[in-house]
Amino acid sequence: MTAAIPSKIEDYALLGDCETAALVSRAGSIDWLCWPRFDSAACCAALLGGREHGCWSITATDSSVHLKRHYRKDTLVLETEISTSQGMATLLDFMPLRDQGSHLIRLVVGKRGHVAMRTELVLRFDYGSLVPWVTRLAKGVHSFVAGPDRVILRTPVPLRGEHLKTVGEFSVAAGERVPFVLSYSPSYMGLPEALDASAALTATERFWRRWVGKSSAAGEYSDVVRRSLITLKALTYRPTGGIVAAATTSLPEQLGGTRNWDYRYCWLRDATFTLQAMMHAGYYREAKEWRAWLLRAVAGDPAKLQIMYGIAGERLLPEWEIPWLPGYEGAKPVRIGNAASQQLQLDVYGEIMDTLHQARLGKLAARDAGWALQIALLAHLEEVWNKPDQGMWEVRSEPEHFTYSKVMAWVAVDRAIRSAQQFKLDAPLSHWKRWRAHIHADVCRHGFNQRIGAFARSYGSEDLDASVLLLPLVGFLPPRDPRVRSTVEAIERNLVKDGFVRRYDTGAAKDGLPPGEGAFLACSFWLADNLVLLGRHRDACDLFERLLTLRNDVGLLSEEYDLRARRLVGNFPQSFSHIALVNTAYNLTRESCPARQRASTHNRRRIRA
């Protein structure tokens, strides 16, 4: 089999069943599929290698084929229109929500004339390393087994083996439907039940439309927000409520580079933004489930708090490299697991405390739920807050006193004080207030650099970092404080390139990695949020609308944007980017916007109001 370069990152669409996900290219090839969970080993890994590492294509055989695709309105059902000189058909790709078993369905529907088609299935378990044993169990039923994993393909199309592939040709005429149902089950259990593709399509569309129909409007950006909310729901592991950072691993932050990480886990750093996005969109059930996941994940010894966990709250996420996968467009290494899970990152304490405070404001749980754990976490934070850490960007160099880390230590204490006062919870308030004041003074003294007129990346540094855009958003200083205003202006001058924000100068800052990456999309949304708070509404709208142009044809964003190549880079689709999009859209279209509510240290109104 001849290797092929995978499609551009922005050429993929997401399929999902709220437990795992697949990526399908514009050409109709599924190049990434992990079963049975987001973080399971991929059985289609062509995204990080070639077709020999696993993929599934359904294509027209006519070389004059023209393809056009979109998601069916308010669903995660992808419809690709296939036009040839002989006719037209549509390919519907979707994953039904699980009842019994997990399924990926591809349904070819004839629209006009006849369209000659070919399917080619290459399953390779364990990230492309294992060729399964293939057997024909009955007419139209094929089994693929390797160790503990089994996939069943049911289709009326006659299939045959060819060079370790499963292939078949067929033709679809107007009015005809040709289904392909791919189902996963452990190899040591019974076969997954057969599924009627048309009935599953109806049920899947109904689920997504009912779900997204509950969302709150966002003015002129309502359609954009709904698509991002569907994406976030698809990246949610339904059994636990955890939300993965992305559906993929090792898509590079720089094309051909080594900044390749596994993002199929749940980051505490995303917690407050996620909770706010869900509550402002009207999804209190999902927000409640996310909060419950958070409390379960961090339960235990406060000294062993991690920055990320597995989708069920797993703590052991050892990082290793796959030698047989060449990486996306040659970007190596391909990493599984994430060693950053063991780093000290002080900002997560602030995220936990802020999330639980916002949850109390939203009445997601009893007012004292988790309070004992919060007190224990604060007691540990008091011992470590003045230590250097790896910062929110998870640098792999020596620890530093990162400004944002210290600010979030302040947030942790501030939100604990506010919860205790507003909800009459037992707490050493006098001590906490002195501690809060001490951290605030420390950050203002050491974090603000007079020479550059801005809060710096770390104490004693003259480097800028987009993380400090969050200072007014978390309420550390008023948005119109001269130090905040000058910091925003310094970032606009020095970190904005071609209209988008970089995290920091990777060439100047020592982060333990080779320099070079794209503009970090969440940072650009944060700048728009700051512009809203500064009263620069038109500038904020202009930036937001520039960011919207980076979405691919089906409304998806990755982590970063390569300014030189004009391409999306980084893991895809990225929940943090879509969370930031949702919050900024509400900031632009609501008077009581998320940024003002989180920024106000005196806001006692409930978010639901």
Q: What is the DSSP letter of 100?
A: S
Task: Give the residue-averaged pLDDT of 247-275.
Answer: 92
79 and 179 both lie in a single domain: yes
Q: Is residue 609 part of a domain?
A: no
Q: Is residue 279 part of a domain?
A: yes
390 and 458 both lie in a single domain: yes
- How far apart, in whole angstroms, are the C-alpha atoms of residue 371 and residue 368? 5
Residues 433-478 have pLDDT tens digits of: 999 999 999 999 999 999 999 999 999 999 999 999 999 999 999 9
User: Does 1 score more than 80 pLDDT?
Assistant: no
162 and 83 both lie in a single domain: yes
244 and 184 both lie in a single domain: no
Residues 34-81 have pLDDT tens digits of: 999 999 999 999 999 999 999 999 999 998 899 999 999 999 999 999
Q: Which of 153, 173, 188 is the last residue of a domain?
A: 188
Nearest CA to 404 out of 451, 449, 346 is that of 346
User: Does 599 score more than 70 pLDDT?
Assistant: no
User: Does 513 score more than 70 pLDDT?
Assistant: no
- How far apart, in whole angstroms, are the C-alpha atoms of residue 44 and residue 455? 45
403 and 474 both lie in a single domain: yes
Task: Determine the pLDDT at residue 4.
Answer: 64
Q: Which of 121, 155, 188 is the last residue of a domain?
A: 188
Range of the structural domain that residue 512 is part of: 240-599
Do 585 and 224 meet the contact criterion of CB atoms below 8 Å apart?
yes
- Tell me how many degrees the CA angle 470-472-473 measures, rounded to the nearest 5: 60
- Band the pLDDT of 270: cuts 50, 70, 90: confident
Mean pLDDT of the chain: 93
CATH number at residue 19: 2.70.98.50
User: Does 524 score more than 60 pLDDT?
Assistant: yes
Task: Give the residue-averaged pLDDT of 523-536.
Answer: 96
| Number of compact structural domains in the chain | 2
155 and 284 both lie in a single domain: no
50 and 157 both lie in a single domain: yes
CATH number at residue 579: 1.50.10.10
Q: Is residue 213 part of a domain?
A: no
User: Does 2 score more than 50 pLDDT?
Assistant: no
Residues 179-234 have pLDDT tens digits of: 999 999 999 998 988 999 999 999 999 999 999 999 999 999 999 999 999 999 99
Do 301 and 387 meet the contact criterion of CB atoms below 8 Å apart?
no
Task: Determine the pLDDT at residue 20.
Answer: 98
Query: pTM for the whole thing?
Result: 0.95
Higher-pLDDT residue of 405, 98: 405
Q: Is residue 265 part of a domain?
A: yes
305 and 176 both lie in a single domain: no
Q: Which of 23-32, 116-125, 355-364, 546-555 has the lowest mean pLDDT?
A: 355-364
3-state secondary structure of 72: coil
Nearest CA to 556 out of 5, 6, 19, 26 is that of 26
Return phi, psi of residue 118, to 5°. -140, 140
264 and 173 both lie in a single domain: no
Residues 559-570 have pLDDT tens digits of: 999 999 999 999
Residues 143-153 have pLDDT tens digits of: 999 999 999 99
Residues 357-402 have pLDDT tens digits of: 999 999 998 888 899 999 999 999 999 999 999 988 888 888 999 9
Tokens of 477: 């200083």
- How far apart, in whole angstroms, are the C-alpha atoms of residue 250 and residue 54? 16
